Amino acid sequence: MTLPNVFFITGTSSGFGRVLVEQLSAQGQNVIATARNLDKIKDFDDLPNVTILQLDVSDSEEEIGHVVDQALGIHGYVTHIINNAGYGLSGCVEEPSIDQAKRQFDVNYWGAVSVTRKFLPHLRTRTEGDKCIAAVSSAFAFQTQLATSYYCATKAAMEMTFEALKMETQHLGIKVLLIEPGAFRTNILHQDTNIHMPKHSIADYSPITDNVNKMYKELDGQQVGDTGLGCKRMIELMNMTGEAKEISKGEMPVRVALGPDAVDMITKKGNELVENCNKWADFSKSTDRKA
């Protein structure tokens, strides 16, 4: 008999994480919702099939392992891990402190890696039910942005690590999926809550940062991406149902962009890489030792 799905989701207090919990619960799926602040997800107690746990993904491996053990004790297993927790860091490369930049990686990148590593022994040894690891990356993993480079770098690092993980674990029946959203109407652009500002700004960069911050404020709440539809597609992908199953023939892809802007950004970057590689091809190939 196939095991009922159990979804473990990080960063569920807002945005994609919150909507995923609501949609999965409405579908009758079992959900373990986590957040740094349990007060922000207390309302999930009223949802059927949802259990809440406190988790800061930047905590130590030991602390994360303790939460994973708690999660595995609820239903006896977990089938789907969704690494969603994260935030943005504004500022040109020189502006945020090194501690701010490292903190960005601790949450966005190392948080996802640490949670995943703690679940892998369970996934490797379980022989029944689905085994899926999803990471919410970004189209910005491919197309860096002014005054947002550290955020983009965390997502680029996530892409390489989870793509390698897919290759390393496919013989064990573990599916790995990278989800690359564009601009969706979440609270990701809320300054000082989900976008952290550098502690010390540098006047020489103000023509750039002023424009970027102005753009964020104007875009906040106006994004064309429908978070509900985006989460619906994510669930289709993770469960391999609906249109996702038809397109993939049941084989989970390594990555999928979400949103027309994400498709455009990734396509543009791909074309730029090919064009640049072709332009310099003869030069690049001139480095082999002579026979």
pLDDT digits (tens, 9 = 90+) for 248-265: 998 999 999 999 999 999
Give the pair of three-digit tokens for residue 173: 């029946």
pLDDT digits (tens, 9 = 90+) for 32-85: 999 999 999 999 999 999 999 999 999 999 999 999 999 999 999 999 999 999
> How many of the other CB atoms lie within 10 Å of CB of 226?
14
User: Are residues 189 and 138 in contact, defined by beta-carbon separation less than 8 angstroms?
Assistant: no
> How many of the other CB atoms lie within 10 Å of CB of 279?
10
Helices (H), the chain: 15-26, 61-75, 98-108, 110-125, 149-169, 206-219, 227-239, 242-248, 260-279, 281-284
**Residue 273 pLDDT > 70:** yes
Cα separation, 92 vs 246, whole angstroms: 43
Give the pLDDT score at 67: 99
Give the pLDDT score at 195: 80
User: Are residues 176 and 169 in contact, defined by beta-carbon separation less than 8 angstroms?
Assistant: yes
Give the pLDDT score at 253: 97
Going by pLDDT thresholds of 50, 70 and 90, the confidence category of residue 217 is confident
Give the pLDDT score at 57: 98
Q: Please choose, from the candidates 112, 120, 134, the residue with its C-alpha nearest in 3D space to the C-alpha of residue 24.
A: 134
Decide if 151 is catalytic: yes
> How many of the other CB atoms lie within 10 Å of CB of 92?
19
Find the catalytic residue in 109, 151, 205, 216: 151
pLDDT digits (tens, 9 = 90+) for 158-208: 999 999 999 999 999 999 999 999 988 776 656 556 788 898 999 999 999
pLDDT digits (tens, 9 = 90+) for 126-148: 999 999 999 999 999 999 999 99
Cα separation, 21 vs 47, whole angstroms: 9
Question: Domains of the chain: which residue ranges?
Answer: 6-264
Q: Mean of the pLDDT values across residues 8-20?
A: 97
Cα separation, 78 vs 72, whole angstroms: 6
What CATH number was assigned to the domain covering residues 6-264?
Answer: 3.40.50.720
Tokens 């949609």, residue located: 23
pTM: 0.95
Give the pLDDT score at 191: 59
Q: Mean of the pLDDT values across residues 220-243?
A: 90
Task: Tell me the CA distances in angstroms from 217 to 88, 192, 221, one per residue in order.
Answer: 14, 12, 9
Give the pair of three-digit tokens for residue 259: 């949103």
Give the pair of three-digit tokens for residue 250: 């049941």
% of the chain with per-residue pLDDT over 90: 86
> How many of the other CB atoms lie within 10 Å of CB of 229?
13
**Residue 107 pLDDT > 90:** yes
Going by pLDDT thresholds of 50, 70 and 90, the confidence category of residue 216 is confident
